[in-house]
Amino acid sequence: MRIGAHVDPTDPLTEATARAADAVQFFLADPQGWKAPQPREDAERLRATGIDIFVHAPYVVNVATGNNRIRIPSRKLLLAHAKAAVAIGAKGLVVHGGHVNAGDDPATGFDNWRKALAYAAESGGFGLPVLIENTAGGENACARRLDALARLWDAIGDHEVGFCLDTCHAHAGGEELLGLVDRVKAITGRIDLVHANNSKDDFGSGRDRHDNLRGGTIDPELVVAVIRAAGAPVIVETPGGAEGQSGDIAFLRGQLAGETSAA
């Protein structure tokens, strides 16, 4: 199982070495901005590495919203990041599920996702899996609760997308981790990536504050159980830089190796 971390984008391969990581995730542009990603000088080196690479789309992307001043730029920016991710050999592009504004019909958000994916297909496609990630908060979110996720998956139909399961987001969003993988797969049919994070806040808080795996309010064994059941690559998005994330990666490897030995 490939286990890695979200790292600074300046030199992700060096960051991977510092964490003994098999995988890395990083941004290709300002996560809070609307600027398109620029070509990377290290693209050839990234493509040639044996480390799995995942890209996270900017947080501002919200293809679900009914606000056209956000929705239209969002779908264009998502496509631009997909093309840039392909150029560096990334295995997937993670994007948050988005939300509609208060008072708007949630069905609008699901339909806007369908339109965004159709727009990408008409433009030549993403070129790699776009992994929709569950989110922690918002009563109008398209991928916080599993009932909303089911409506989203019904709307996007045959479009080729994947799913990224974040353990902190699920906990904060009010979804129990025990048995969660089976419930998600019953909807999506797949889990392509796990964001393994503990939470600083209580169950159902709606707050997206990550903690290291042996800290926080989630039993670490529940996070390990999610990873075991998902059988997908793992990225920790935990605090503490290289030291904190190295500890989390080593913890996961130790737990999973122990289970293998016991079996």
Q: Is the dihedral of CA 62, 222, 245, 172 positive or negative?
A: positive
CATH class of 3-254: alpha beta
Tokens found for residue 136: 């922690």
Percent of the chain with pLDDT over 70: 97
pLDDT value at residue 157: 79
Residues 96-105: tens digit of each pLDDT: 999 999 989 9
Domain coordinates in residue numbering, the chain = 3-254
234 and 4 in contact (C-beta within 8 Å)? Answer: yes
| pLDDT, tens only, 238-261 | 999 999 999 999 999 999 997 543
The alpha-helical segments, DSSP class H, found in the chain are 12-19, 43-48, 68-87, 106-122, 146-156, 167-173, 180-188, 220-230, 241-262
Query: What pTM does this model have?
Result: 0.96
Distances 258 to 224, 252, 263 between C-alpha atoms, Å:
11, 10, 9
